[in-house]
Structure 1
Amino acid sequence: MKQDIDIKTADGMAKAAVFRPDNGASAGSGVIFYMDAMGPRASLYEMAQRLADAGHIVLLPDLFYRFGAYGPFDGSAFGNPASRETIMTMLRGTTQQMTRNDSAAFLDALSAAGAKGPAGVVGYCMGGARALTAAAAYPDRIAAAASFHGGNLASEAEDSPHRLAADIKARVYVGAAGIDNSFPPEQSARLAEALRTGGVDHIIENYVGMSHGWTVPDHGVYDETGAERHWKRLLNLFDEALA
């Protein structure tokens, strides 16, 4: 069941959707779903509902709310030069620090929606780094964090999530695309070292043969077998860490 809401942040009003189980499952724990760069849309709503039906209250916020109305885009948007430029403008204009600050309001919105206990976070593409950053920023409120085909998780940038590893108390799962220029092997090794040195309970798993975006149904590189594997890993993480 999807419910549209508005969340007041320090910078304005963020549109978001709250999902509760449609299948009669009881929902106690909350999860923030950090979008990919194409923004909230039918395919992400489908994924959020599946996560809710596993027994969670799921919040899917529009991270690009500062730009007002846009799109709608889908997984093919990067193939259109005009759409790509619009998306990149919003991506460059929505910093990690902005989403980090917003995440306090997102966590409060989850609690207001009825979520109990520490939350989980999951992010895809650009959302992967934001999920890990949120886990570091709110260690007492986030117990599990997952990233799938997240880009630049251990880059040279000052706001790269790997620099925050020592602040993370959550269990972490990173599902890396086997073919992904935004998260090459050297970044995977750097992230693994940071998480291990920081004492973080974590798994980094390489999905061989999968391309960036393989989990999202409206992407041209969507792979059903790989997507189902991702669901098993994600649901298991939340079942164990949010129980």
Structure 2
Amino acid sequence: MTKRMIKIQTADGTCRAGLFTPNGEAKAAVILYMDIFGLRPALDEMAGRLVAAGYAVLVPDLFYRFADKPEFDTKAFADDDKKAQLFGMMRETTQAKTIADTGAFLDALSAEGFSGPAGVTGYCMGGARALNAAGAYPDRIAAAASFHGGNLATDAEDSPHRRATDMKGRIYVGAAGVDGSFPPEQAGLLERTLREAEVDHVIENYVGMKHGWCVPDHSVFDAAGAERHWKRLIMLLDETLAA
């Protein structure tokens, strides 16, 4: 595996991103949308799992607009000031901004030789962004996954379920068994909306898993649950991008 840090020009500035590629030819490219804690070794490790499965992976810093931000880790929530800073950056990094940025991410992948159909996967705050990207770039994104993503079907105008009719790719949603940011009523609305829009999709409930269970440095990381998520994600990508 090779990792390079690249700079991607967007409408709002320059976004740094990790580009991870296999030693041989990649099956396709995947964008991995970070959780709230940002770029760090744990996400490199996750990108490595996808590279091992044959994919090139782009991991962009969605908080690039905050140039003076410190490095965070999953212990940041224990500090009230850091927690407030993280949630503030997440609020200001709107869905619309990430959707616009995704166009630049896809262009960057094309410039690196990955111009075909792509996949996206997101964790925590990245989950909704992955689904919104699928609706915003339906001719480019063939597979989108959300794991412990929150606010996937709400009253907000930028709620991902509102883009269901624009989606052409396959959608997978892995929900934590107990997650206040994606309660059963949201899951039901998302299921109904995707089905009515005739979107090929699966919404799966990971019983006993908590919000954040997939990410290896998270306090609620669950090894067995994480392996299950890898099986589901790689199968989704293989069936849509490598068939």
- Which category describes the TM-score, using the shorter chain as reference length? over 0.9
Is the counterpart of residue 120 in structure 1 residue 115 in structure 2? no
Structure 1 distance, partners of 2:229, 2:70, is 27
Residue in 2 that maps onto 1:177 = 176
* 1:67 partner SS: coil
- For 1:137-216, list aligned pairs within 5 A: 137-216=136-215
Runs of 4 or more off by more than 6 Å in structure 1?
Answer: none
* 2:84 partner SS: helix
CA RMSD of aligned residues (A): 0.9
Q: Deviations over 1:147-168 (max 9, x none)?
A: 0000000011111000110100
User: Are the aligned partners of 1:25 and 1:54 in contact in 2 as well (CA < 8 Å)?
Assistant: no
Deviation at 1:196, TM superposition (A): 0.4
The one-letter code sitting in structure 1 at the alignment partner of 2:64 is Y
Deviation at 1:70, TM superposition (A): 1.9
Deviation at 1:139, TM superposition (A): 0.3
Structure 2 distance, partners of 1:79, 1:187, is 28
Deviation at 1:28, TM superposition (A): 3.2
Structure 2 distance, partners of 1:233, 1:69, is 37
Residue in 2 that maps onto 1:220 = 219
Structure 1 distance, partners of 2:48, 2:134, is 22
The one-letter code sitting in structure 2 at the alignment partner of 1:118 is P
Instruction: Report the TM-score, using the length of structure 2 for normalisation.
Output: 0.97
Is the counterpart of residue 18 in structure 1 residue 5 in structure 2? no
User: Are the aligned partners of 2:29 and 2:114 in contact in 1 as well (CA < 8 Å)?
Assistant: yes
Structure 2 distance, partners of 1:50, 1:142, is 20
User: Are the aligned partners of 1:122 and 1:146 in contact in 2 as well (CA < 8 Å)?
Assistant: yes
User: Are the aligned partners of 1:76 and 1:218 in contact in 2 as well (CA < 8 Å)?
Assistant: no
User: Are the aligned partners of 1:28 and 1:114 in contact in 2 as well (CA < 8 Å)?
Assistant: no
The one-letter code sitting in structure 2 at the alignment partner of 1:3 is R
Residue in 1 that maps onto 2:108 = 109
* 1:174 partner SS: strand
Residue in 1 that maps onto 2:7 = 6
Instruction: Report the TM-score, using the length of structure 1 for normalisation.
Output: 0.97
Structure 1 runs not aligned, ≥5 long: none
The one-letter code sitting in structure 2 at the alignment partner of 1:104 is G
Q: Deviations over 1:69-99 (max 9, x none)?
A: 3231112222221110110110011000000
Q: How many residues align?
A: 241
User: Are the aligned partners of 2:27 and 2:241 in contact in 1 as well (CA < 8 Å)?
Assistant: no
* 1:117 partner SS: coil
Residue in 1 that maps onto 2:232 = 233
Is the counterpart of residue 71 in structure 1 residue 44 in structure 2? no
Structure 2 distance, partners of 1:79, 1:155, is 28
Structure 1 distance, partners of 2:233, 2:70, is 29
Give % identity.
62
User: Are the aligned partners of 1:214 and 1:222 in contact in 2 as well (CA < 8 Å)?
Assistant: yes
* 2:74 partner SS: coil
* 2:17 partner SS: strand
* 2:221 partner SS: coil
* 1:83 partner SS: helix
Structure 2 distance, partners of 1:90, 1:38, is 10
User: Are the aligned partners of 2:142 and 2:170 in contact in 1 as well (CA < 8 Å)?
Assistant: yes
Residue in 1 that maps onto 2:87 = 88
